[in-house]
């Protein structure tokens, strides 16, 4: 006899997971070597894209019993979407895993603790930029008041899981926002800047430098005030409808013909932002505006290239010659297809020799909040990544996403390499190079 939970799960999978997308998979296996969890689990098929798609179909058809192992297979997915470029059939795996998590969220009973956490995160912090800013002020107080020093000295952090202690160790110092200074009077390009929730709080200095570099290159930068979190974390956590609430708010905030580009500097945000058009195509009120939004959207490194930064970098001189490498943001590479532009900027930066990191396109284990939810697997994936870093021995490891940045900083710290190398956001790296000249 089918249990009530089993029936709810089957019905939910049938309702939310697109069968046509499932049937696009030919089971060829080209996705396998591209999947970090498949490799990290010694080629366990249930932790591969092909295996997960088979489980999705089995859940729809009622051929598999919902249990902890099935749930683990879906939870263990990074959502990095490295399988998509590798797939000859064009399977929309990103949509499938999002739909699967929506199906699970609708059918699975939630305890009070999970309900409170989800409501606080998705209806609070990541639904209101002001609430995020208020929370970050508490972090700033923790850093500035001396509480952080005392906490570390007495070993209080040892009471928490190791990964939480590591993440606390790489939190950026949060400063008060500084006024922007423009260095060019004549502006040739109008840019609207999507500041992002984490980037405009934890990494506000990177945002400030982003604006200064854009203005240095001749862009007029505007910041729409009503923008919200992009909604990516909602979409990756089975809360897609709440993510689309944010999407509509952002489409409205950036609904202007005055902008040539809408630019963002976080790879994870950029992927979800670029798919507003897809997610809202059935919404008659927002379909056209979402399409215009997605068409104007560009990544910061792509815009730097378009505005001529490569030429400006080549004009500079430096006698130093240190190694710099690049760790891809999965979503920037796999969804937005941006991987040559950041590399070209690093190659043209004076004082550095660019060398490619082994498996630079594979996930570092951050994947939004994956490293918090799946710390053991995230650690295994990061350990694989750090093997390549140690072999290369770069002075700078550059990336284009805040989560990736903190994850690489954790890896460097864990290996005791803080005196030998540094992980930087690409904007911070370029800003530093420009300032030297």
Q: What is the mean pLDDT of each run of 10 residues along the chain (437 residues)?
A: 85 95 96 95 94 96 93 94 96 96 89 62 60 59 56 56 56 59 63 89 90 95 92 86 93 93 95 95 94 96 97 85 96 96 97 95 89 88 95 97 94 94 97 89
Is residue 411 in some structural domain?
Answer: yes
pLDDT at 186: 61
pLDDT at 184: 46
pLDDT at 437: 75
pLDDT at 214: 97
Determine the Cα–Cα distance for residues 334 and 74; give it in Å rounded to an integer.
19
29 with 120, same domain? no
Given 59, 79, 107, which residue is the final one in a domain? 107
User: Would you say 294 and 277 are in contact if contact means Cβ atoms under 8 Å apart?
Assistant: yes
pLDDT at 235: 86
Is residue 95 in some structural domain?
Answer: yes
100 with 120, same domain? no
b (16+ CB within 10 A) / e for 27-50: eeebbbebbbbbbbbeeeebbbbb
- Give how far Cα 68 sits from Cα of 64, 72, 228, Å: 12, 6, 35
Is residue 34 in some structural domain?
Answer: yes
The H or E element that residue 198 is part of is none
Is residue 309 in some structural domain?
Answer: no
**C-beta atoms surrounding 210 within 10 Å:** 28
200 with 287, same domain? yes
Tokens 């590399």 belong to residue: 343
CA dihedral 292, 294, 300, 301 (to 10 degrees): -110
352 with 422, same domain? yes
Is residue 299 in some structural domain?
Answer: yes
pLDDT at 298: 97
Number of domains in the chain: 4
Apex CA 273: angle with CA 29 and CA 27, to 5°?
10
88 with 137, same domain? no
Dihedral sign (CA 55, 56, 57, 58): positive
Given 243, 276, 304, which residue is the final one in a domain? 304
pLDDT at 370: 86
222 with 137, same domain? no
Q: State whether residue 254 is helix, strand or coil.
A: coil
206 with 299, same domain? yes
387 with 323, same domain? yes
Is residue 175 in some structural domain?
Answer: no
318 with 432, same domain? yes
CATH of the domain at 13: 1.10.1060
Determine the Cα–Cα distance for residues 141 and 428; give it in Å rounded to an integer.
24
50 with 81, same domain? yes
Q: Which domain holds residue 136?
A: 114-169
299 with 321, same domain? no
Span between the terminal Cα atoms of the chain, in Å: 74
Is residue 414 in some structural domain?
Answer: yes
CATH of the domain at 196: 3.40.50
């Amino acid at each position: 006899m089918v249990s009530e939970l089993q029936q709810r799960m089957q019905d939910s999978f049938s309702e939310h997971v697109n069968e046509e997308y499932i049937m696009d998979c030919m089971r060829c296996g080209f996705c396998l070597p591209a999947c970090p969890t498949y490799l990290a689990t010694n080629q366990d098929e249930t932790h591969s894209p092909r295996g997960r798609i088979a489980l999705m179909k089995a859940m729809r058809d009622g051929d598999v019993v919902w249990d902890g192992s099935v749930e683990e297979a879906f939870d263990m997915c990074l959502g990095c979407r490295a399988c998509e470029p590798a797939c000859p059939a064009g399977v929309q795996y990103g949509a499938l895993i999002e739909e699967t998590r929506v199906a699970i969220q609708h059918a699975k009973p939630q305890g009070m603790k999970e309900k409170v956490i989800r409501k606080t995160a998705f209806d609070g912090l990541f639904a209101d930029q002001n609430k995020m800013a208020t929370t970050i002020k508490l972090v700033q107080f923790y850093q500035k008041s001396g509480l952080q020093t005392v906490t570390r000295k007495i070993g209080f952090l040892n009471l928490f899981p190791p990964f939480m202690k590591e993440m606390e160790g790489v939190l950026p110092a949060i400063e008060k926002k500084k006024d922007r200074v423009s260095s060019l009077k004549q502006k040739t390009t109008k840019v609207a800047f999507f500041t992002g929730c984490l980037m405009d709080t934890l990494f506000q200095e990177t945002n400030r430098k982003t604006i200064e570099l854009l203005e240095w290159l001749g862009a007029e930068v505007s910041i729409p005030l009503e923008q919200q979190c992009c909604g990516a974390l909602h979409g990756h956590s089975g809360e897609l409808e709440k993510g689309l609430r944010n999407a509509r708010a952002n489409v409205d905030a950036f609904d202007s013909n005055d902008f040539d580009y809408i630019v963002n500097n976080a790879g994870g945000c950029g992927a979800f932002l670029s798919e507003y058009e897809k997610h809202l195509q059935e919404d008659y009120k927002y379909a056209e505006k979402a399409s215009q939004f997605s068409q104007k959207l560009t990544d910061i490194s792509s815009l730097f290239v378009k505005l001529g930064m490569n030429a400006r970098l080549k004009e500079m001189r430096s006698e130093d010659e240190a190694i710099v490498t690049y760790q891809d943001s999965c979503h920037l590479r796999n969804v937005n297809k941006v991987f040559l532009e950041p590399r070209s900027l690093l190659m043209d930066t004076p004082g550095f020799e660019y060398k490619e990191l082994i498996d630079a396109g594979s996930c570092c284990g951050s994947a939004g909040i994956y490293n918090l939810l799946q710390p053991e697997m995230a650690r295994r994936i990061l350990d694989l990544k750090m093997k390549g870093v140690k072999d290369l021995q770069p002075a700078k490891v550059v990336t284009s996403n805040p989560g990736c940045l903190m994850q690489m900083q954790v890896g460097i710290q864990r290996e005791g390499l803080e005196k030998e190398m540094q992980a930087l956001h690409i904007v911070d790296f370029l800003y530093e190079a420009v300032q030297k000249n």
